[in-house]
Amino acid sequence: MSLDPREYQARDGLLQGRIVLITGASDGIGKALALRAAKLGAQVILHGRNSEKLEAVYDEIIADKSALQPSIACMDLATADSAAYTSLANSIETEFGHLDGLVHNAGILGDRMTLEQYDAAVFQRVLHVNLTAAFALTQVCLPLLKLSSDPSIIFTSSGVGRKGRAFWGAYSISKFGTEAMMQILADEQSHSGMRVNCINPGAVKTNMRLEAYPAEDRDKLKEPGDILASYLYLLGPDSGTTTGQSIDAQ
């Protein structure tokens, strides 16, 4: 990497015409990224589980008359079956023919408690939404990404995805798994021209952060819109052959 992705300055039109699917685009970091990517010319596919929230993001995007009209993909990652993933990929193929960017951003926190006390059903749900769902979505999207001239996959990690810490339970384990999935996929795709990387957003003022740290001073936290430089770098052409990296957004 020649430059620090955190310092990257996205130019107007950076993502012009790129088809980018963002999971968890209804809120937090995913929403902020969807709005910014659309502003930079991307054709955004807004994924989430709440159609009302997704429609609100859609409306915000089309309020800018120069933005391309986004698509909405409503699918609950906790319950989606293989037919739902296939149907999503088929819709993208029919509507756009290919995919240039896939951002795995959706996630849940689960419980903050010891492994000794951790509820097994919550453990399974967190692993499923944060890790298995990203695997399933990657699998159905790979053929569409391979049709792009500059494909990029971004996984979302965390500080506790690199170093385990007490009380972070299934969330931490899911993020270690995410780092592993990124490394494996990057290695497997190393000759295909596909970028596969992880971003650790750091502390960001979102609902998830509030759930994790209810007592902290939120005024000190970065807004989701302030930490997007490395996402835009990896989605656009300037990141070139950058792959297999785990990048800190802050």
Residues making contact with ligand NAP (CB under 6 A): 24, 26-30, 48-50, 53, 76-78, 105-108, 129, 156, 158, 201, 203-204, 206-209
Residue 63 neighbours by CB distance under 10 Å: 8
Nearer to ligand NAP, 17 or 119 (CB): 119
Which residue number places its CB atom closest to ligand NAP?
28
Coil vs helix vs strand at 114: coil
Q: What DSSP element (H or E) covers 140?
A: helix 133-145
Active centre residues (catalytic): 171
Residue 224 beta carbon to ligand NAP: minimum distance, rounded to whole angstroms: 6
Nearer to ligand NAP, 121 or 241 (CB): 121
Residue 22 neighbours by CB distance under 10 Å: 31
Tokens of 33: 């990224």
Q: What DSSP element (H or E) covers 179?
A: helix 169-188
The Cα–Cα gap between 44 and 3 comes to 26
Nearer to ligand NAP, 78 or 166 (CB): 78
Q: Answer whether 99's CB lies under 8 Å from 148's CB.
A: yes
Nearer to ligand NAP, 72 or 147 (CB): 72
Q: Beta strands 246-248 and 195-200: pairing type?
A: parallel
Tokens of 167: 């009380």
Residue 13 beta carbon to ligand NAP: minimum distance, rounded to whole angstroms: 26
The Cα–Cα gap between 10 and 29 comes to 17
Nearer to ligand NAP, 104 or 148 (CB): 104
Residue 65 beta carbon to ligand NAP: minimum distance, rounded to whole angstroms: 26
Tokens of 36: 């910014």
Q: Answer whether 31's CB lies under 8 Å from 110's CB.
A: no
Residue 208 beta carbon to ligand NAP: minimum distance, rounded to whole angstroms: 3
Residue 153 beta carbon to ligand NAP: minimum distance, rounded to whole angstroms: 14
**Sequential DSSP letters for 197-216:** EEEE--SBSSHHHHHH-TTS
